[in-house]
Amino acid sequence: MIVAMATTRRADMFTADGKPSDDDPRENGPTLGDERTTLVEALRCQRLTLEIKCAGLDAEAMARRSVEPSTMSLLGLVRHLAEQERATFRVLMAGQDMPQLFRSETHPDGDFDGAVPDPGVVVEAWDAWRAEVDFATRFVAEAPNLDITGNDPLNKHGSGGGALSLREVLVGMIEEYARHMGHVDLLRERIDGRIGQ
């Protein structure tokens, strides 16, 4: 009985018939690209997955917490990933002196704690995330190669306290998204039972 139920549930995907969609924006990307193309495409697909998994939800659903004591929500993850994009590409790689978007020294969990069920907060989060993704996309496209480095003296990005190449940064950002897409799957399933593809 449990196996049959799991099979049925897993077949209930976002698409109407339970089959992958021919118009999935993550499909049919480059498959034999060079290193930069491969890394950029993997990150693009992770970012698109976040958008797909959050599609069609109102502010209340976006801000719904997982289970106590966690403060995690889809909205909190959008805010968190906007922070990660900014810290990685603007601050670390481009060397810009930029304030954090939602967190501060006195409120280090502001990305999650401030994820409240307000439509304006949702719009602000998506706008911030898209602005950071746009910056990162342009930065990577304009970089002369993947060997350029950013300095991580305080080891905020796992460098051990030194330089990180753009190559390492792209792999790290893919890992960051992939880690959170599992959370996103569970949060979305808890909201309306949809598990996506």
Q: Which two tokens stand for residue 33?
A: 């690209």
How much is the pLDDT for 31?
65
How much is the pLDDT for 153?
78
Pairs from 65-69 (Cβ < 8 Å, separation ≥ 24): 66/183, 66/186, 66/187, 66/190
Q: What is the CATH number of domain 28-192?
A: 1.20.120.450
Mean local confidence (pLDDT), 58-82: 94
pTM for this predicted structure: 0.84
How much is the pLDDT for 80?
97
SS3 readout for the chain: CHHHHHHHHHHCCCCCCCCCCCCCCCCCCCCCCCHHHHHHHHHHHHHHHHHHHHCCCCHHHHHCCCCCCCCCCHHHHHHHHHHHHHHHHHHHHCCCCCCCCCCCCCCCCHHHHCCCCCHHHHHHHHHHHHHHHHHHHHHHHHCCCCCCEEECCCCCCCCCCCEEEHHHHHHHHHHHHHHHHHHHHHHHHHHHCCCCC
Could you tell me the pLDDT band of residue 89, with boundaries at 50, 70 and 90? very high
Q: Is 177 left (phi over 0), alpha (psi -120 to 50) or beta?
A: alpha
Q: Among 15-24, 25-34, 188-197, where is mean pLDDT lowest?
A: 15-24
